Chain A
Amino acid sequence: MLFYLIRRCLYAIPIALSVGLVCFMLVHIAPGDPINAIVPADAPQELVEQIRKDYGLDRPLPVQFGIWLAKVSIGDLGTSLATGRSVWSDLSVAIGNTLRLALTAALIGFVLGSVLGALAGSFQGTFIDKIAVGLAVAGVSVPHYWLGMVLVVIFSVQLPWLPAMGAGPGGSADWAWDWEHIQHLILPAVTLSVIPMGIVTRTVRGIVAEILNQEFVQTLRGKGLTGRGVFWHVVKNAAPNTIAVMGLQLGYLMGGSILVETVFSWPGTGLLLNNAIFQRDLPVLQATILVLAMFFVALNLLVDLVQTALDPRIRRG
């Protein structure tokens, strides 16, 4: 297992390199100029060239990439072209905010998805099944930025129950798990949860239905187990695959939803990426994508380990 862990950690290195390289190349292939993050377009050419030099943007691209890589390898994610602030200072705050949002959305989505999926799988073809599947299809089909705007119109504008935007009455810096702050989290978390809810519902439904048709369940029933007893066996068998799907979904949520965070002005990684893309703020863009990619890798590894712990049939290493 130890060798497996080490090997998986080493796999992260080429992934990080590739992510960094692809991101760097895409930004430079795209039309536009990173210098626009610092100077207005009406700046005289002489000044533009001077500033390009000041920021090292006049160097050959491989050199720029090499310098960035060398800094990242010692934990320096650089400085934002647009704000001059350390990328890590903004990114760490954004990651905290996105984690808060993603974990809440995951909790809502996974609990609802598991319950609905289990009900649908247990009562296939019934009215309950149709309702659960309908909700799942709606969850994955409705564009979540649209849903977010509808929720804002209903719960913030028409019924002024919940705030329409932001991460707290004084921003996210003084976040606390009290009602003043949690009310800011509800609408974006519910909006973000509908897709994982739909996907988990469908996954669990399929797995539960399949397990219920297996011979060992009939054996369990033949041995006199009913209701809760059979249910726990089904849960144990469904867990590994469900957790794999949940892990992937959590990874997507961690990536931050650019659209949902923009609709709710939630200061997470999605909003950070959105601004960085429009400003061509290369250091912020590269560092954010790199850190998110590493989160994804770590999350996958964690899911693999949890799967192994839950299901001894799965051997790693």
Chain B
Amino acid sequence: MTLRRLLLAAACAALPAAHALEASAQGTIRIGMTAADIPLTHGQPDQGFEGNRFTGIPLYDSLTAWDLTRGDRATPLVPSLATEWAVDANDKTKWIFRLRQGVKFHDGSDFNADAVVWNVRKVLDREAPHFDPRQVGVTATRMPTLRRAERIDDYTVALYTSEPDSLLPINLTNLFMASPAHWERKRAAAASAEAAWNAFAADPSGTGPFRMSRFVPRERAEYVRNDAYWGNKARAERIVLLPIPEANARTAALLSGQVDWIEAPAPDAIPQLRARGMRIESNAQPHVWPWQPCFAEGSPLADVRIRKAINLGIDREGLKTLLGGLMVPAVGTVQPGHPWWGNPSFQIKYDPEAAKRLLAEAGFGPQRPLSLKVQISASGSGQMQPLPMNEFIQQNLREIGVNVEFDVIEWNALFTNWRRGCKDPSARGAHAINVSFAAMDPFFAMVRFWDSKMAPPVSNNWGHFSDPRFDAMVAEARTSFDATARDAALAKLHAAGVDEALFIWIAHDVAPRAMSPRVRGFVQPQSWFVDLTLPYIQ
């Protein structure tokens, strides 16, 4: 047999399989995730916000949720399993939530106030029989002041916080409601609560728009549409989630037709993906890729003039070109037009001459160049392309007379150091740290960095920033219970942060994802999450 015949025979043999792949895709969206494993499916996902995106929101609902149906505005908070809520007029640590009636879990049991209390206890009450320490880490951090829940009637529940906290309704988007009845059935057949949660994870029951139909650990999760969903029903019949951590493998999987949608395609593959008819979706994300300054004594970045100079010395448009357009230049933690933007007087832009003037005022110039050390990682979740991006900035800053030295460490180690602060030996004398973060929630966007009480080891005020004015603004925001007043207080806080240049703001990620042209109806909101009820396969 000639070589040509052999190749022809091999091609013919492969054709039926390729055809089978095509046929199975009707109404089924196959998604290649960046996660290396299926995020936990028991109701409190791990793997960061990719977990919430794919195994939280599609399977479960929370009391409050983000409206992810539009891409042209910051995502607003909307009612979900709670229809309305308010803080108690006499006790600002007590919130009353009215619950949606007629909602059922996937197993057919009713969602009610008891279910809410049960779900709060699963992560906060160590005495509860269903308490699961594994879920605490990924949940309690996202609702730091929530303490307990109390049933008032079937569809009313009271939630108590450790201190007055207007941010609670936002935090609650992270507490997903799992079915107590389903868990109890699993518990009856399991040796321990831990084993029951493992069984629950393999066969979960929430109230979300999809039900899980198949789970292969480390390999795939398959969802089918929940036709009894209380809200807008999903348009796709099935969703298949595949963990493909390697960017080139994801790209190849999309190009070869094994998946219909990939998260974070390799940036250098985007022209090829476009050339092959794939759609690239992106939108500004509440994500910040900054340098977080050290304010400790002896750090040059304790001087506001130097922080402003560094902010003005970075060519963000050039950086955007380097990334093939896949970033939004950051001029604050949130973007202009956002309800928390405020009206800062310091305008962050590329102005090397102004940067040099500020450095000169601070005593630095050609005769006495400024030297900075920055701790960065070579990779990591949300870190975009840390090495080329930081090298680009290093080159920018050299032009204004700032020599930057990088201390490149592994991502997990950098994350650990972030909690220890810049005075800790693990900082190794760094003047800034490059850890990206999500900025959907005011606590995670601003409070944990600018409140002096959040200094290590309490939270992520790595730079030990301390200013009573900011403490007061944080307190004002947390005790403004009217949504408009709260946003105004947060805008004041944000504007003050920009005016003091409390970060070196560099980039916002745009969450690129590539899709087959057969995927229709998808909306990329300004969020870390997406609404999987919208897309479908045509």
Contacts and interface: CB of A to CB of B under 8 A. Distances in A.
Contact of A40 (B138, B410, B413, B426): B138
A163 B257 CA distance: 9
A101 interface: no
Nearest to A162: B14
B252 A164 contact: yes
A232 interface: no
Contacts of A215: none
Give chain A's interface residue range (CB within 8 Å of chain B). Answer: 35 or more
A252 interface: no
B15 to A, nearest CB: 9
B224 interface: no
B220 interface: yes
A197 to B, nearest CB: 20
Contact of A39 (B141, B197, B244, B253): B141
A267 to B, nearest CB: 5
Interface string A146-171: 00010011001101111111110111
Contacts of A84: 40, 134, 194, 197-198, 201
Contact of B412 (A42, A157, A274, A280): A280
Contacts of B46: 38, 82-83
Contacts of A278: 36, 411-412
Contacts, number: 179
- Nearest first, the 3 A-B pairs at minimum CB distance are A39-B137, A31-B413, A45-B457
Given A33-B416, A179-B13, A275-B36, A40 B141 contact: yes
A41 B418 contact: yes
Nearest to A163: B258
A74 interface: no
Interface in A45-89: 45-48, 50-51, 54-55, 79, 82-86, 89
Given A157-B256, A164-B253, A44 B459 contact: yes
B17 interface: yes
A157 B458 CA distance: 49
Given A47-B137, A157-B252, A169-B21, A93 B217 contact: yes
A180 B17 CA distance: 7
B14 A166 contact: no
Interface of B: 10-11, 13-14, 17-18, 20-21, 24, 36-37, 40, 46, 48, 133-134, 136-138, 140-141, 144, 194, 197-198, 201, 214, 216-220, 242-246, 248-249, 252-253, 255-258, 409-413, 415-416, 418-419, 426, 435, 437, 444, 448, 456-460
B136 A47 contact: yes
B37 A275 contact: yes
A33 B418 CA distance: 12
Nearest to A38: B137
Contact of A160 (B217, B245, B257, B419): B257
A39 B138 contact: yes
B133 A55 contact: yes
Given A32-B410, A164-B253, A274-B36, A45 B217 contact: no
Contact of B460 (A41, A94, A274): A41
Contact of A156 (B17, B194, B256, B448): B256
Interface stretch (A223-231, A257-265, A295-303): A257-265
A172 interface: yes
Contacts of A48: 419
Contact of B448 (A31, A42, A45, A153): A42
A271 interface: yes
B394 to A, nearest CB: 23
Given A31-B412, A41-B415, 12 more contacts: A42-B448, A43-B140, A51-B137, A84-B194, A90-B218, A93-B218, A166-B253, A169-B24, A173-B216, A265-B249, A271-B218, A275-B37
A36 interface: yes
A44 B458 contact: yes
